[in-house]
Amino acid sequence: MSEEARQHCTMVAAFDGWNDACSASTNVIRHLLNVYESHEIGSIPGDGFYDYQMSRPMLCHVQGRRRIIWPSAKIYRVRIDDTHTLLLEMGPEPNYHWSDFCRRSIHWAEDDEAEAIITLGAMFADCPHTRPLPIDDLAGDQPKTDTDGHSGPIGIPTVLDALATQDGYSTESIWVSVPQYLGSDECAQGTLQLLQRLSAMLGVHLDEGELPRKAAEWKAQAGMLLRCNDDLANYVHRLEMDVDQAQVDEPAAEELVREAEDYLRSMGNKGPSLSE
């Protein structure tokens, strides 16, 4: 089979809870399941992984009979096009035995011969809704844009990245920051930007469906909230000024770095003088 015709499979995982501000990351998975034909191929059962007082079972009625739905992580297979397949994992962040949980996730990736594992996350931050939301890409467990790396509490996506990297997988993690002043309502803009970054990372177009419209509605609702609250409007204006100033300062800082690199390079290329 030619390289062009070979199927490329990537696992994409997102988890409810601490890693999922405003459901922005898990809604990427839900969106993909809605716009593409998908098949549930398995799950990681909840027993031993979940505290059922934190992630409670749900009672539903199916054909007149009561049924208890226990927390678990579901695994889906989605074919994007003739050469790209996604293995999607979604569920609550487990409470216990994270290493074992991640090993089971990686086992599903092995079974489907996934070439890479990408985790998605969302966090609250001081950022204005009137500007593109900040996106961070991480390779393995280190931010590409942060040489110091993250120090502090972590969630299950970081553990999955680390263990998958140890097993030889190419791993990436995409995180979006969402405005903390807007509360916990769903953030369609964050979901849209995660989807767009995932699309660029995979090198394949992912159907955005209704997300652009929902993102525009999210911005309009946020704008209405500001019009009713002068203190909040002033706070957002200060955030806007910080973001805009950072964008002005960044090119200048990059130019200084380039000048320093050019200078050091020129010094290194100089041969010994005649007086030496």
Q: Could you report the per-residue pLDDT of 79-91, keeping only the tens digit for each?
A: 999 999 999 999 9
Separation between Cα atoms, residue 76 and residue 81, nearest integer Å:
16
The model carries a pTM of: 0.84
Domain boundaries, the chain: 8-210
Q: Do β-strands 170-179 and 116-125 pair in parallel, antiparallel, or remain unpaired?
A: parallel
Separation between Cα atoms, residue 182 and residue 225, nearest integer Å:
9
pLDDT band for position 138 (cuts 50, 70, 90) = confident
- Residue 142 has a pLDDT of 52
Separation between Cα atoms, residue 110 and residue 35, nearest integer Å:
25
Q: What is the per-residue pLDDT across 106-121, written as a single tens digit (0 to 9) for each?
A: 999 999 999 999 999 9
Mean pLDDT, residues 65-88 taken together: 94
CA 101 to chain centre: 19
Q: What is the dihedral of CA 36, 37, 39, 44, to 10 degrees?
A: 10
Mean pLDDT, residues 129-148 taken together: 71
Q: Give the 3-state secondary structure of residue 2.
A: coil
Per-residue HEC secondary structure of 182-200 comes to: HCCCCCHHHHHHHHHHHHH
- Residue 144 has a pLDDT of 46
Q: What is the per-residue pLDDT across 40-59, written as a single tens digit (0 to 9) for each?
A: 999 999 889 999 988 899 99
Q: Would you identify the CATH topology of the domain 8-210?
A: Rossmann fold (3.40.50)
- Strand ranges (E), 93-194: 116-125, 135-139, 142-143, 170-179
Q: What is the per-residue pLDDT across 202-261, written as a single tens digit (0 to 9) for each?
A: 999 999 999 999 999 999 999 999 999 999 999 999 999 999 888 875 655 555 556 566
pLDDT band for position 150 (cuts 50, 70, 90) = low
What angle, rounded to 10 degrees, do the helices at 98-111 and 156-166 form?
Answer: 60
Higher pLDDT pick, 163 / 61: 163
Quickly tell me which residue has 């000048």 as its tokens: 259
Q: Which of 174, 75, 159, 197 is nearest to 122 (CA)?
A: 174
In percent, the amount of the chain with pLDDT more than 90 equals 71
